[in-house]
Amino acid sequence: MNIVLLTGCSGAGKSRAANILEDWGYTCVDNIPLNMIGVLVDMHRKNSTAGDKLAIVTDARCTTDFRELAPLAKSLRRAGDTCRVVYLDCRDDVLINRYKFTRRMHPLAIRYGTSMGDALVRERQMLRDAYECADVRIDTSDITPAQLKQLLEHALVGEAHNGIYICCMSFGFKYGIPPEADTVFDVRCFPNPYHVEGMREKNGLHPDVNAYVFSFPETHQYIERLREYFLFMLPLYEKEGKKQFTVAVGCTGGQHRSVAIADRLNTIFQENGYNSVVIHRNMDGANGSTV
């Protein structure tokens, strides 16, 4: 059976993620205490019409201690199931704005009679073990619903390369560095198509802009050095058990240089057998999310 244990911060997009999984044929069950998941899985197995895909949302609303989450996932795998723990994270300032927008209260603020800030601190403390054992971590602070779907599909549907998932993310420094980045590359040293007539309104995926970015020998030398670096380093990360790796490539606005170079890096990873996806966080001026 294919099981997804979906957890993370309240307001980070778990309901939207569950809807996406449901569209992919998963039976989705929300707000299940950790100590009831084994019973639920057994019931699902015995239901011959339930299908072989099960997604369970468990978080701080119904569980206060997540130390048993990792042993639970291991036991499911020993039983022959495919089990992935997916953790959705989000910056506190974004979570607060989302709750303001929906005019809802954080569930822990209601339960303990605390402020939103105190509820977020308490929730992260509760979820620490869930975060540590997660197979997939997605920060939804600055991504769109479509990008969330793309990242989930990349992690759960695509064919894995020895268990490591790579996300190449272009971004604009003017909007801030992606908090989920494992490594950051600054490509503002290369000539900027923004200042070339006819290219300002195009992005790095446009043939004209892409050709301009790679018209300089320094860009090709840079890509070749990155290729050598990652093909040396990624097997070492895999050996140490790292499950996902986010490569962030930034330019000023996230429109041109970073987009073209992140896209080329993604192609290199895929050509070398890695399960890689590219996300252009700020392309066409996008900033912030509606997850």
| Inside any domain, residue 151 | no
Specify whether 113 is located in the same domain as 75: yes
Specify whether 103 is located in the same domain as 211: no
Rounded to whole angstroms, how far apart are CA atoms 233 and 275?
16
CATH of the domain at 106: 3.40.50.300
pLDDT value at residue 160: 43
Task: Evaluate if residue 83 carries a pLDDT over 60.
Answer: yes
Structural domain including 185 reads 165-285
| Inside any domain, residue 108 | yes
Specify whether 43 is located in the same domain as 169: no
Specify whether 191 is located in the same domain as 134: no
Helix (H) / strand (E) element for 168: namely strand 165-172
Identify whether the C-beta of residue 58 lies closer than 8 Å to the C-beta of residue 17: no
> Which of 87, 108, 141 is the last residue before a domain boundary?
141
pLDDT value at residue 287: 61
| Inside any domain, residue 99 | yes
> Which of 109, 141, 173 is the last residue before a domain boundary?
141
Specify whether 19 is located in the same domain as 92: yes
Specify whether 179 is located in the same domain as 270: yes
pLDDT averaged over every residue in the chain: 91
| Inside any domain, residue 231 | yes
Over the stretch 269-279, which tens digit does the pLDDT of each residue have?
999 989 899 99
Specify whether 6 is located in the same domain as 58: yes
| Inside any domain, residue 147 | no
| Inside any domain, residue 158 | no
Stretch 10-23: mean pLDDT:
95
Identify whether the C-beta of residue 147 lies closer than 8 Å to the C-beta of residue 256: no
Stretch 173-194: mean pLDDT:
95
pLDDT value at residue 174: 94
Over the stretch 34-55, which tens digit does the pLDDT of each residue have?
999 999 999 998 886 778 999 9
Task: Evaluate if residue 106 carries a pLDDT over 70.
Answer: yes
Identify whether the C-beta of residue 259 lies closer than 8 Å to the C-beta of residue 203: yes
Stretch 97-108: mean pLDDT:
91
Stretch 244-263: mean pLDDT:
96
Helix (H) / strand (E) element for 51: namely none
pTM score of the predicted model: 0.77
Specify whether 95 is located in the same domain as 190: no
Looking at the structure of the chain, the number of domains it has is 2
Over the stretch 153-173, which tens digit does the pLDDT of each residue have?
888 875 444 458 899 999 999
